[in-house]
Chain A
C-alpha cells in the first residue's frame, strides 16, 4: 500500500481565517496530486490538482507541492462555513495503472 498521510483533525478555524491542510506521501515517484472535498453523506468532489513543484492558485484555494519533501498542502483563504467538510488528499504513485491512493482525510470546521 502506497501511504498517504493526513492529520485527521478535526481542524477548526474562525470564519475569514486561512485554513491549512497538509498531506505527506511515501512514494517518491508519485506523479499527480489531488485535493477532494467531501461533505457528510456526499461523494468526493475535485477541488484542485497539481503535478509541478510550487504553488497553484484557484480562487480562494492554493495547492502547494514540494516533491523533495514529499508533501502537498491546501490553503483555503477567507474560510467560509460552507467550507466545513472532510478534505481528502490523493496521489497517483508510479506504475499503478491510474489508481489513486487516498489519505484518510482532514475534517475542517469553519466557525461563524
Chain B
C-alpha cells in the first residue's frame, strides 16, 4: 500500500486552465503539506494543514487553493494556470507532535504549463 499517494503523476495543460491535484495518506498522520520544487530542486512550503485546519499559508498566489476534506486528504486546486506554475508539486504528511521524525513525501505531480 502506498503511504502518501498523489494523482495525477503528470499533468500537461495550457495557460489559463484550472486543474486539481489530489493527495491521500494512509499513515494515520494528522498534518499534511504541499511543497513546490522548481527546476533547481528547491523545495518550498506552500501550505500546511493540521486536522483539516490551515496552519501555514506561505506567500502563494491566491490562484492556489488547498482543501482538506478530512485529515487523510489534502487537495490543491489551481486557477488560471501560468507558465511559471510549471514545477513538481509534492504532498507530504507527518504527525504534528512527531515532526522531529520527519515527513513522508508523496511521489510528486509534475505540472507542465504550455
Contacts and interface: CB of A to CB of B under 8 A. Distances in A.
Nearest to A48: B102
A105 B48 CA distance: 22
A99 B48 contact: yes
Contacts of A88: 41, 43
Nearest to B4: A43
B31 interface: yes
Interface residues of A, number: 25
A90 B33 CA distance: 15
A45 B108 CA distance: 12
Interface in B96-114: 96, 99-108
**Size bin of chain B's contact surface:** 20 to 34
A32 B45 contact: no
Contact of B41 (A49, A96, A98, A104): A104
A51 B98 CA distance: 13
Contact of B105 (A43, A49, A96, A101): A43
A96 B107 CA distance: 25
Interface of B: 31, 33, 40-45, 48, 50, 55-56, 90, 94, 96, 99-108
Interface of A: 31-32, 34, 36, 38, 42-46, 49, 51, 86, 88, 90, 92, 96-102, 104-105
Given A34-B102, A104-B41, A104-B42, 10 more contacts: A32-B99, A46-B102, A90-B43, A92-B100, A98-B31, A98-B48, A99-B45, A100-B45, A100-B103, A102-B42
